[in-house]
Amino acid sequence: MPDNSGYSIKIVHLYPDLLNLYGDRGNIACMQKRLEWRGIRADIETCTNKDHSIDLKSADIIFVGGGSDREQEIVCNLLLKKKDELKTYVESGGVLVAVCGGYQLLGKYYKTAATKIEGLDILDIYTDSGDTRLISNVVLECDKFDMPIVGFENHAGRTYLGEGVTPLGKVRYGNGNTGDSGYEGVLYKNVIATYLHGPLLPKNPQLCDYILLRALERKYPGFEGLKPLDDSLEETANSYIAGKYVK
């Protein structure tokens, strides 16, 4: 069994003071705990509207949550100043996890009825707001994992994917990227972007470990693999939700 002690990972949380709908911050706690349970140190740094002084180059995982259109626009304008730095990070295999509003702002633009918010153009996607909100529990099938990905979505935006990216999963229940494409989220290099809100990772330990492993392998070439954890509680929660919506 691999001994993971002695490693460390720096997680940068972008603008939790503006984008933290449904407790997206729980994903940080989950990543931190799953690292610490293996003896890996987790350093959490926060970039807020009051303190932007963050060095993205030293990040191993960057996380950005979701929020209202208004807050999303503020964050978008702030992140446009870090656009080149973020793009370099992503293109060099940096791990970036983005939820809902955070997902949308990685694309070319997010067009609402009122305005068009310029995106960071990191992902080959764009988002148009629809007349209705897509609100649902969600169950996805993802060929990287044997467990389904379960979560909750609430968005007006419909996100259209270009050739350069692949979806995170196939929708088994819920709406996903557009409501009718049959797909949800995006995987691009080590970017994991999804509409699934709130503490997504505690219910999806395989997705959480996928994120942690990508970061550890990038920082420590030849990393020997993650020490297994007892995930029986997480597996019970995941299969309860999945079984409720997909027969």
Q: Interface with ligand GLN by CB under 6 A: which residues?
A: 21, 66-69, 72, 100-101, 154-157, 197
Nearest distance in Å: CB 211, ligand GLN: 19
By C-beta, is 133 or 144 nearer to ligand GLN? 133
Tell me if residue 100 is catalytic.
Answer: yes
Contact predicate 189/182, CB 8 Å: no
CB 155, min distance to ligand GLN, A: 3
Q: 100 or 161: whose CB is closer to ligand GLN?
A: 100
Closest CA to 142 of 178, 102, 196: 196
Between the two ends of the chain, the Cα-to-Cα distance in Å is 36
The one catalytic residue in 47, 76, 142, 197 is 197
The least distance separating ligand GLN from the CB of residue 161, rounded to whole angstroms, comes to 16
Which pair of structure tokens corresponds to residue 165? 């990216």
Which of 145/181 has CB closer to ligand GLN? 181
Find the shortest distance in angstroms from Cβ 217 to ligand GLN: 29
Residue nearest to ligand GLN (CB): 66
> Pseudo-torsion of CA 45, 43, 223, 141, nearest 10°?
-60
Q: What are phi and psi of 139, to 5 degrees?
A: -130, 130
Q: Which is nearer to ligand GLN, 168 or 215 (CB)?
A: 168
Check if 76 is active-site. no
CB 16 within 8 A of CB 68: no
- SS3 category, 163: coil
Give the active site residue among 100, 142, 155, 208: 100
Helix or strand holding residue 79 (H, E): helix 69-80
Q: What is the CA radius of gyration of the chain?
A: 17
What are the residue numbers of the active site?
A: 100, 197
